[in-house]
Structure formats: C-alpha cells, structure tokens
Structure 1
C-alpha cells in the first residue's frame, strides 16, 4: 500500500503516489519559468546578443528585468555580462508619440560586463542598485529579493 506523499494536501488520499495540488503547482511554476525565459531571450535578442549566450539568471521585478549571461564566444566583449531592461511606460508607447516604443518590448537600461564568473554577483548588485537609483525598483523590492 502506497502512503500519501504530500503533507501539505491531506486531501491527496493515501493510495496515490503524488498530490494533484502539488503536481498543478509544479506545472504552474514550470510554465511561469518558461514564460520568463522567453521574455529574457526576446530582450537579449533585441540588443543583438551573440549566439551561444547562456542565461545564468533572470530576475523580474515589476516592469524591470535583470539578466546575467555567460558567453564563451571570442567575439563577446566580456564572457560574463549583466543586462538591465525595463518596459516602456504608457506614455512612451503611446502611438500618438513621434517615435513610440512598442508596448511590451524591453528597453535596455544598462549593461555591465567582466571577465570573471566570480564578479557576476557584484555586477547583479550594481544593476539592482542602478535600477533603484533610477526609481524603477524600490528598497522594499530589493529586500524581498534578498529574502
């Protein structure tokens, strides 16, 4: 007889191997991660990321996204980079503007690069600090991120 595998969902029953609630939660997390990865790759493509670039981390805070990457390609200026993006405001994407940004298209805010993997954490801290200086993220957002 199989025992219940999920203590969080007692309704799972003692004869099933997995909890349907946890299975759904895992599916939802996987779908959210795929959507975030697609957004990150679209943002990187918009700035002409070199093929072969590998995403190390993606952090999205409201209308901003910070992506760290590694690129072994010798054409890359730096093998490790952190790119910061933001979404355009409604005013910036207003079609009545002279040169509006497409709604939902990521705008590059800042780029940081270095030659050592050990510098990526410092580059990420600098990127989030710069977004905070610009008022695009708050100290509370950054505290939630650190938790």
Structure 2
C-alpha cells in the first residue's frame, strides 16, 4: 500500500496529504488566471470610457507600465478589429484643484487603430507600439516580445 498522493511528484512524502509541487502549480495557475481576469476587466473599463459597449470581444490585453493595450473584435462596429492604447492619469491630472480633474484609475485613450480584417491586427498592434515607444512607454520592452504577449 502506498501513501503517496501525487504520481507526478514522488517527493511528496508518505505523511503529506498533498504534494507541495502540485500546490505550487495550482497557486501559479490561479495567479495567472487572476492576472488575466484583472487585465480583461481593466480593458472592459477602458473601452467603456470611450463608448465601446460591453458586447465587444476582447482578443487580448496587456499592461506595459502605465499603458494598457487592448485588441478587440466588434462585429457590429465600423471597424471590426480595433487596437486601443490607454494610460493612467498622472498625479497632476487628478489634482482636485484642476479645472477638470481626472479620476484616479480612469483610463485615458492614447492611440487607436481600426481595420476590417483580422490579418491587419499585427500591423495595428505594431503601429500602437510604435506610438507608445515614441512616448517612451515601451522603452524597456522589445516590440516582438510585446506582440507575442498580445497574441498569447
């Protein structure tokens, strides 16, 4: 009779009810899922700020420092495929003494691209990344790395 609970991790001793390796895998999976859910929620919020309804299909969302890039499909929109870049407001913009202060956490549109074909998504993403690079947002990241992350 064996007391091992995990066939994948034989180091799980006979007195353990669960394998620490499997616990770690589960924790990592939950953390990735929560991170993805948070990015998708931020993307929905950002798109709602510019008047995009909640029926849009978010293809991918990635956050780079203060910027959020969202690739989406809108079957009923003028452009079926869009790539939008947003940023968080600066402390000066949220200063209540401003004449029209922004709300903390409010996503501000930086750049947007749209086209009719899914084949154009890579070009649109590259255009948005180029714009963010001009603003100094993506200085530490390569375009290919960010493009791969958006396709993940």
2:25 matched residue in structure 1 = 22
Structure with larger Rg: 2
Q: Does 1:102 align with 2:103?
A: yes
User: How far apart are 1:6 and its partner, in Å?
Assistant: 4.8
The answer for unaligned runs of 5 or more in structure 1 is: none
CA contact (8 A) 1:4 1:16 kept: no
Moved more, 59-68 or 45-54: 45-54
Q: 1:53 to 1:146 in 2, by over 3 A?
A: closer
> Taking structure 1 as reference, are residues 116 and 54 closer, same or farther at Cα in structure 2, changes over 3 Å only?
same
C-alpha spacing 1:98/1:6, structure 2 compared with 1 (3 Å): farther
Gaps of 5+ in 2: none
TM-score (norm 1): 0.84
* Change in CA separation of 1:60 and 1:13 when aligned onto 2, cut-off 3 Å: farther
Number of aligned pairs? 141
Tell me, in whole angstroms, the C-alpha distance in 2 between the residues paired with 1:78 and 1:146. Answer: 21
When normalised by structure 2's length, the TM-score is 0.82
2:112 paired residue number: 111
Q: CA deviation at 1:135?
A: 2.0
On the 8 A contact 1:128/1:142 being kept in 2, the answer is: no
RMSD: 2.3
SS in 2 for 1:24: helix
Equivalents in 2 of 1:20, 1:142: separation in Å?
Answer: 33
| 2:141 is equivalent to residue 141 of structure 1 | yes
Does the 8 Å contact 2:44/2:54 carry over to 1? no
Change (3 A) 1:68 1:141: same
Q: 1:33 to 1:47 in 2, by over 3 A?
A: same
Q: Is the 8 A contact 1:66 1:83 kept in 2?
A: yes
The Cα of 1:110 is off from its aligned counterpart by: 1.1
